[in-house]
Every structure is written in C-alpha cells, then in structure tokens.
Structure 1
Amino acid sequence: MNVVRKEETYKETYTIDDIYALPDGERAELIDGQIYYMATPSMIHQRLVMEISYRIRDYIGRKKGDCEVFPSPFAVFLNAEKDIYLEPDISVICDKDKITSEGCKGSPDWIIEIVSPTSRPMDYYKKLLKYSTAGVKEYWIVDFEKNRIMVYDFQRDSLEEYTFSDKVKAGIYDDFEIDFSEISVN
C-alpha cells in the first residue's frame, strides 16, 4: 500500500539513504527518486500473503527446489544503482546469488502484489512497468476487491486474467497452480 505524503513532495529526488533514514516501523518504497509511503496492510491482505506464500513454499519444499519465498517486508533492489527499492508482498527468488543480508539484489523470478485501495495505481501501472523492464519473469496482481488475479508472464509476453474461483498456474513452474477457491480470507 503506497501513498505519497504531500508534505514530502517538495524535495525533487530521494535516494536509498532517505529510505534507510526512515523512523523505525515506517515503510516506504523508492521509485525514480520518489518515495511512496506504505500504509498498514489489512487483515485480508495479510491472510492472502500468508496463504499464497505458504502454498508456494510448500510446493518448493515438496519438489526440493532451489527457489526461496520471501513475504513482505523484504527489500528488493531492482538495479545496481539502488534507485529502485521495493517491498513486494511476495518475492520468489531462484538465483541464490541475488539474496544478501540486505534483501534481493536484482529482479526476483516471480513477484506477487496484493492490491489495496491505496496501492492500486502503483501495482497496476508503476510497478508493472518496473518489473517488466527489470527482468522479472512473472508478475501477479491479486485484487480481492475486484475478484481478479492478473498474471503477467513476461517470458512469454502474455497476460491472463482469473477470478478467486479459478486455479491459477504459475508460469515459472511446469506443474504448480494455486486454487484460489480454497483460500479463505474471512
């Protein structure tokens, strides 16, 4: 969930140092020199993050896979310059060399964002553009309010739309899908 505070917009550009200088407990993302503050996630948001993360982690464990799942808060630096700092709701990273004590250096293989009312423009537009150009293989936008899951498979240049009644196949795996009808958020 991202909101730009009006009193903060007077500064032309921000850096990763500004992110690191935030007070404890305050979270924000940095995109193109602008800080986007993040609101506290809702109960439904957190349940979706937990349920989806669990299913992915369970699959990787059963297959003895090399990928790791990181729910937010987890830092993702999309480029070496550290001018894009994000905290995706769920990051799946298969290249262990990208994982450091600071977070992920480079693009995760798969990112899932759970939409909140304040994050809708960020998730559907700004982050979509950044993820598609940074080398993310797959990006899911899970929008509970709109009963929609958008699956962007950047490797195949495809977009699929699903509902919370559907089974959604992960493009980075041959035999994994999430049955959203089994996910209870209430």
Structure 2
Amino acid sequence: MPQLGAKTGQFTYADYCRWPEDERWELIDGEAFAMCPAPTRLHQEFITECVAQIHPQLKGTGCRLYVAPFDVRLPKTDEADERVDTVVQPDIAVFCDRTRLDDKGARGAPDWVIEILSPATAARDQIHKRALYERHGVREYWLIHPVDRLLTLYRLGEDGRYGAPELLELIGRTEVAALPGVRIDWPAPEAFDL
C-alpha cells in the first residue's frame, strides 16, 4: 500500500475501508486526500469550545453532533456503499435526519458543518468541500479561521446554492439559521490561553 500522501487514481469507499486504520483520508469524487497527522492546539481549542456550546443546545431537538474522525459518505445517487466515491470527515457535523446515521458513520449530508481551517487543509475546505457541501445540500457551512478570528459562513438558499458568504469576526454571538435557537457565543481571545 502506498504511503500517506501518495495515493493516486480513483477510489471508492470499498478501497477506503481497506486502507490502514492509522492513516486518515478523505475521498472527494474518487480523489484521495491525506488528512493532517494532528491538528494544532488552537484548532482543538476551537473544536472543544464549539462542541461544549452546541451539544447542550441540541438536547430535545433530535439532532446529533459528531466530531472527526467520523465518516460521512456522500453518494451521488443511490449507489451501494462500496461504490460511493466521496467520504469526508468534517471537524464538526450536526445531523437532524437520524435516518442518515448508521454504524459506519453517516450516509448523506449533515445539516450543519463546521471546519476549523489549518494551513494544510484550507484550500480543500474553502474550495472543494464548499462545492461538495453545496451540491449535497448541507444547509449551513461554517469555516472558522482560528488565527485571524474570522468566520466565513455559507447558507443554502431556496435555489439549492450557497449565496455570497458572510464574513464575521469571532466576537459576540452567531446564530445558526439552519437550527433555530442554536448559537455560538465567541469567547475572548485570551480565553484560549495561548
């Protein structure tokens, strides 16, 4: 098996399931992308803060929150799992349609995705995944820029497309339009003790 970062060709979920468990990959339209070996501490601080706030707000809604590594299979139509050529691991994914959840992770789009940008994955998150999530109907897609303390927020319109992104500073409160009543209250920079 080729080493991390060296997979070329077109792959499916069947291939992905045979790769070593100590390697993390994503597939986007059959192309394999190596995941970073370990995110930065700042990246992890933002995930922890978001999860700590989101999880209690979902109580009683039927929605479920998952943190990477968590496989989200995105079939093009109704193809069998082994033929699916897109498998992603969003940093944070919220699913309100529980029929999409199974023992392998999820099959179908989350309602809300948050990606914490890192230098190694920023282009993929901002270009490839944005297009992918739009195509699969992710209702809200947030890209957190931890160093710059910015949020790029995409919301799916009635036409099934993301409109122009909102660019927000990570101050105050940001409401989640896809999940009424859910919000993030951004802590001050010094809260991260960096």
TM-score, length-normalised on structure 2? Answer: 0.85
Match in the other structure for 2:56 = 58
> Is contact 2:172-2:185 (8 Å) kept?
yes
* Aligned-partner Cα distance in 2 for 1:146–1:123: 16
User: 2: distance between equivalents of 1:50 and 1:68?
Assistant: 16
CA distance in 2, matches of 1:182, 1:175: 22
Compare 112-121 and 151-160 and name the one that shifted more.
151-160
Cα deviation, residue 138, structure 1: 0.5
Evaluate the alpha carbon distance shift between residue 57 and residue 150 of structure 1 in structure 2; reply closer, same or farther with a 3 A threshold: same
Matching residue of 1:44: 42
Match of 1:15 among 12, 16, 20: 12
Query: Match of 1:87?
Result: 89
Contact kept in structure 2, 1:167 and 1:181, CA below 8 Å = no
Q: Which residue of 1 aligns with 2:174?
A: 168
1:117 pairs with one of 116, 119, 125:
119
What is the percent sequence identity of the aligned residues?
29
Give, in angstroms, the shift of residue 52 of structure 1. 0.4
CA contact (8 A) 2:142 2:152 kept: yes
1:70 to 66, 69, 76: 66
TM-score (norm 1): 0.89
| One-letter amino acid matched to 1:43 | R
Aligned to 2:30: 33
The aligned length equals 178
1:179 aligns with 2:185: yes
SS of residue in 2 equivalent to 1:165: coil
Q: CA deviation at 1:92?
A: 0.2
Runs (4 or more) in structure 1 with deviation over 4 Å come to: none
Q: Which runs of 5+ in 1 are unaligned?
A: none
Where does structure 2 lack aligned partners over 5 or more consecutive residues?
A: none
